Chains A and B, each alone.
Chain A
Amino acid sequence: MDQIPSLIRVFAYLSFLTIGGGMAAFPEMKTEIVGVHHWLTADQLVHVFSTGQMSPGPNMMMVAEIGQLISGPLGALAAALAFFLPTGVLTFLVGRLWNRLANWPWRASIQKGLAPVAIGLALGGLVIFGKGAITGWLTVVLALATFVAVNRTQINPVLFILGSAVVGAFALR
């Protein structure tokens, strides 16, 4: 309960780092949640973040799971609101301004410039994430199989995640 103000502060801060997607914020999330506040272990964070990939809707709603684990349902609500509301208001305001900025030459510069930075941040986040997730030969096989399947087929990726969960439950104890 007394963790809720810290939860709100941490998730509101993290939400502004999600340029291009949630993966970009993962390294900072690890620093805050595992390093600074000791709310979860590094392994737990990787697990919770992965669960988010199975959820419908925004996959970063896994912040609600973190809130739930730390402070119960109220923590879940606080984490979700802190993570989605501030950037939501910003998006709403910029969305209304956007057409008026049509002739502002820097608009195109910002879009062009941030695109590769967002991809780099996500890949950097993925490296940090992968270090926690890839722990042995079987995890390498599962990751590679999913990577190839998602690139080559139209099968819904959630099926590969569920399949890997079953494999893990038996083989990764």
Chain B
Amino acid sequence: MNKKPSIAEIFLTFLTIGAISFGGGVVAYLRNSLVKEKKWFDDVEFLEITSISNTLPGLNATNVAILAGDRLNGWLGASVALLGMCLPAFIFMTAAGMIYSEQHVRPVANAALRGVAAAATGLLAATWFQIGKKSLRGVYDAIFVVAAILGITYFKIGVLYTLLIVGVLAIFTYRPQRAPEQPAKEEEAWIKSLH
């Protein structure tokens, strides 16, 4: 990065992404703009930002905006990046709510939305199928995925308790391992020296 981009430039960049990123996958739009076009970050930095975003609550679109904005120009950069990212969607969705409230459009709107809901199910399934294919590794990951699904759909303990119970178990399973190589090697050398 050569020099700090101005607050106005940050706002306009995120406002543009917030306005054109139709069809989900906002992170791909963000990468295209921040890494490829503006060259404000390299791929390694961007990957780090997205991995923090994934771990924290909040959406990827807004979390990436905040973390990138902060690195570009401090808390003010983060604030305008978040605002720019959210503003178009806010106007879009509030307008959608106003239209939906109109009684005379209700029958047609409801019929159209039944189609939208069906397609959204397919889109969301495809999105999570791709994320799963990319990031799941090994038996433990599979167990935690199934446990979380069952917590929601079968045991019906709610999102919060499922997250707490399965989350703690998963983090404990992947707990930090003491690196045993060093002592083991020393021991091996010591055993060899006995012979």
Contacts and interface: CB of A to CB of B under 8 A. Distances in A.
Interface residues of A, number: 111
A55 B93 contact: yes
B174 interface: yes
B38 to A, nearest CB: 18
Contact of A53 (B63, B110, B112, B116): B116
A106 to B, nearest CB: 6
A58 B140 CA distance: 31
A65 B18 contact: no
A56 B114 contact: no
B89 A91 contact: no
B163 A19 contact: yes
Contacts of A134: 118, 121
Interface string B155-184: 000111011001100111111100000000
Given A28-B158, A115-B136, A166-B115, 7 more contacts: A21-B59, A21-B60, A50-B116, A54-B116, A56-B92, A157-B24, A160-B122
Contacts of B150: 124
A5 interface: no
Chain B interface main SS type? helix
A34 interface: no
A92 B78 contact: yes
Interface of A: 15-25, 27-28, 31, 43, 46-69, 73, 76, 80, 84, 87-88, 90-92, 94-96, 98, 105-106, 108-130, 132-135, 138-140, 142-151, 156-161, 163-173
A55 to B, nearest CB: 5
A156 B115 contact: no
B119 A80 contact: no
12 contacts: A57-B89, A65-B94, A67-B97, A90-B57, A92-B78, A106-B175, A109-B171, A130-B121, A147-B123, A157-B24, A170-B111, A172-B114
Contacts of B123: 53, 146-147, 150, 157, 160-161
Given A124-B151, A130-B121, A114 B55 contact: yes
A51 B93 contact: yes
Interface in B3-52: 17-24, 26, 51-52
B135 interface: yes
B114 A106 contact: no
Given A88-B66, A91-B67, A47 B58 contact: no
B160 A113 contact: no
Interface string B126-148: 11111110011000111011111
B101 interface: yes
Of A25, A54, A134, the most chain B CB neighbours within 10 A belong to A54
A52 B93 contact: yes
Contact of B167 (A15, A114, A169): A114
B175 A109 contact: yes
Given A80-B86, A109-B175, A116-B145, A90 B117 contact: no
Q: List 9 A-B pairs, minimum CB-CB distance, nearest first.
A: A168-B115, A120-B148, A124-B152, A68-B97, A146-B122, A105-B176, A87-B58, A57-B89, A113-B171
A76 B148 CA distance: 31
A84 B60 CA distance: 11
A123 to B, nearest CB: 5
